[in-house]
Structure 1
Amino acid sequence: MIVQDIRAFNRFYTNVIGALDYGRHLYAPYTLTEARVLYELAHSARTDAADLRAELHLDAGYLSRILNRFEKDGLIERGPSERDPRRRRITLTAPGREAAGLLDERARETVGALLATVPPDDRPRLVEAMRTVRTILGGGRTARPEAPEDVVLRDPGPGDLGWIVQRNGALYAAEFGWNTDYEGLVARIVADFAEDHDPHLERAWIAELAGRPVGCVMCVRDEAPGTARLRLLLVEPDARGLGIGDRLVTAVVDFARGVGYRDLVLWTNDVLTAARGIYQRHGFALVAEKPHRSFGRDLVGQDWRLDLRATPD
């Protein structure tokens, strides 16, 4: 009976997936496997062919053909691996990120349309049931969502920019007693990004853990020529200790250096000790600090700078 139930579920779910991709518009012009490779490349900070083979359980020859096509189409670049000189690091180009972003947007819209048919009160049960299936059939692997390898970095989707404003306001009020002036500042930063940002020179990231956002950061143009500014780094308290902040800052530094900025700057306050530690580990130098009264508190503001032309350690 159990075997029959599982087979019946497989048939049902296969039909659901088929309905989601009716007419094969979801992955076009790529195959499902090619779309999965693009997804992994878009959500992993550092990836080589061996990583992809292990994660996706792909034949080496098949994966090689996919990567060759991507390279020919200008979607990826290959270079020496930082971890092992015998390996080749694979990174998405700007067109590659655009292609991955389009696929991700289609997937979100499609799943959103599916969820629209589910009554709101039933959605938590649906998600919990899916999590149970993954946990049991995954041998307990997904029972530990706090594992660092479960964290993915992605572009913001619908509602994520609002989440950035809400969580910044709530978290800094709870942890530091800041008033709504800070939330207003964050809202203006996010609104400026949403209304007028250059996707080739500016970008935002959401850190996702077990299907929920747990962190964010932005890279935007500064007023000084050739300078980018890191803004709104945040990691939820229950997701700290997994290296998420470090990964978010790494994403900003790699992006800013990759698109040709000379300097990366940021403004923070001395009470944010954990964030300052991350900045220091990435080579940022404190260039100025000044007491100020903001957000209902007496603070010491700090300006930090990273020379992107310097050779990374």
Structure 2
Amino acid sequence: MVPEDIDERIGIVRHFNRSFTRQIGVLREGLLHSPYTLTEARILFELAHRERTTASQLGRELGLDPGYLSRTLAQLEQRGLTEKRRSDSDGRQFLLALTENGREAALLLDQRSRDEVAEMLHGLSEGEQQRLLRAMQEIEGILTKGFKFSEPFVLRSHQPGDMGWVTHRHGVLYAQEYGWDERFEALVARIVADFVNNYDPNYEHCWIAEMQREIVGSVFLVRGGEGEGKLRLLLVEPSARGLGLGSHLVEACIRFARQHGYHKIQLWTNSVLLAARHIYQKAGFKLIAEEPHHSFGQDLVGETWELIL
């Protein structure tokens, strides 16, 4: 039962914060049994997943005070973990990057983090793991700022029954909105079957979006060629459109791809899908190929889009 008294509510939140930070060990002087503080580890992790960035961009991403960030970066540079170079396009800017030692440190931190989380999950039953993940995703969804949703939403991993929903809703919506026949539904069924049968959680993921416990969207990131991810089956229900959910799903794919070592993301779509094309363009994807084709009972123009990470 949720307490009515505001002081009691504040106490519950603070107790959760203390408990969780102890659980994941962020208050230890050396994060993940390393010589790095939490802030240093966050900086190394971010730089490991970026080509080049400025200190101001990094500060905005991590929400760090500029003075504190500057001092921390200076310490990392003195330790031979980071370097800065003048931008070729703008001589007033200095770009940050990891040195070889810095990349090795980031890889070690990433592996230790994965190992600690895996150990924590290993002690839980499948049901407990699912409850934990849903609760974490719900907390993140409620507290995430910058997305103008009229209702709280959560993104979660796929569960039994979700692949049937993805196939069904693609078939129904594309028939209603674009006149595509059942052969498109058959294509979606093959894609989700391949995903389930060949699923590699280290490199692939499915996000299911829920609002008010109702599924309202989906997207997949699957393994393509060497260092390449493929974004597939982006769908947002009409009831959830106009809220930024499509962009949020695409951004989840991009974050996952960067964190798991992909160098680029490709996707295939059709020129008539104007809303989806706008989302991809806004996220930084570039149109690299077009080809007319006759599919699903319609004359279409297929498009390949690419994002270099």
Answer whether contact 2:286 2:306 (CA < 8 A) is retained.
yes
Answer whether contact 1:226 1:263 (CA < 8 A) is retained.
yes
1:66 to 2:23 alignment: yes
Deviation of 1:101 (Å): 10
CA distance in 2, matches of 1:289, 1:187: 24
Deviation of 1:197 (Å): 1.8
Partner of 2:200: 198
Which residue of the other structure, out of 163, 167, 185, is the alignment partner of 2:165?
Answer: 163
5+ residue gaps, structure 1, are: 1-9, 11-52, 111-145, 309-313
What is the CA deviation profile of residues 26-68 of structure 1, one whole-angstrom value per residue up to 9, with x for unaligned ones? xxxxxxxxxxxxxxxxxxxxxxxxxxx98x7224544542342
Partner of 1:106: 127
Answer whether contact 2:158 2:206 (CA < 8 A) is retained.
yes
Q: Secondary structure at the match of 2:307?
A: strand
Deviation of 1:277 (Å): 0.5
Answer whether contact 2:121 2:129 (CA < 8 A) is retained.
no
Q: Secondary structure at the match of 1:58?
A: helix
CA distance in 1, matches of 2:117, 2:172: 31
TM-score (norm 1): 0.61
Answer whether contact 2:170 2:188 (CA < 8 A) is retained.
yes
Partner of 1:154: 156
Query: Aligned-pair RMSD on alpha carbons?
Result: 3.5
CA distance in 1, matches of 2:169, 2:294: 22
Q: Secondary structure at the match of 2:218?
A: strand
Answer whether contact 1:105 1:157 (CA < 8 A) is retained.
no
5+ residue gaps, structure 2, are: 2-8, 44-58, 70-109, 132-147
Pair 1:97–1:109, CA change in 2 (3 A): closer
Q: Secondary structure at the match of 1:197?
A: coil
CA distance in 1, matches of 2:125, 2:273: 33
Q: Secondary structure at the match of 1:303?
A: strand
Partner of 2:105: none
The count of aligned residue pairs is: 218
Partner of 2:13: 57
Answer whether contact 1:94 1:200 (CA < 8 A) is retained.
no
| Partner amino acid, structure 2, of 1:184 | A
Q: Secondary structure at the match of 1:261?
A: coil
Partner of 1:258: 259
CA distance in 2, matches of 1:63, 1:217: 29
CA distance in 2, matches of 1:102, 1:298: 53
Partner of 2:241: 240
Deviation of 1:147 (Å): 3.5
TM-score (norm 2): 0.61
What is the CA deviation profile of residues 242-297 of structure 1, one whole-angstrom value per residue up to 9, with x for unaligned ones? 21111110011111111111110000001111110110011100001111110111
Pair 1:95–1:207, CA change in 2 (3 A): farther
1:173 to 2:175 alignment: yes
Matches within 5 A, 1:3-42: none
CA distance in 2, matches of 1:228, 1:157: 22
Q: Secondary structure at the match of 1:57?
A: helix
Partner of 2:268: 267
Deviation of 1:301 (Å): 0.6
Identity, in percent, stands at: 45
Deviates more, 1:148-157 or 1:165-174: 148-157
CA distance in 2, matches of 1:183, 1:73: 50
Which residue of the other structure, out of 56, 61, 68, is the alignment partner of 1:82?
Answer: 61
Pair 1:190–1:249, CA change in 2 (3 A): same
CA distance in 2, matches of 1:276, 1:96: 39
Q: Secondary structure at the match of 1:205?
A: strand
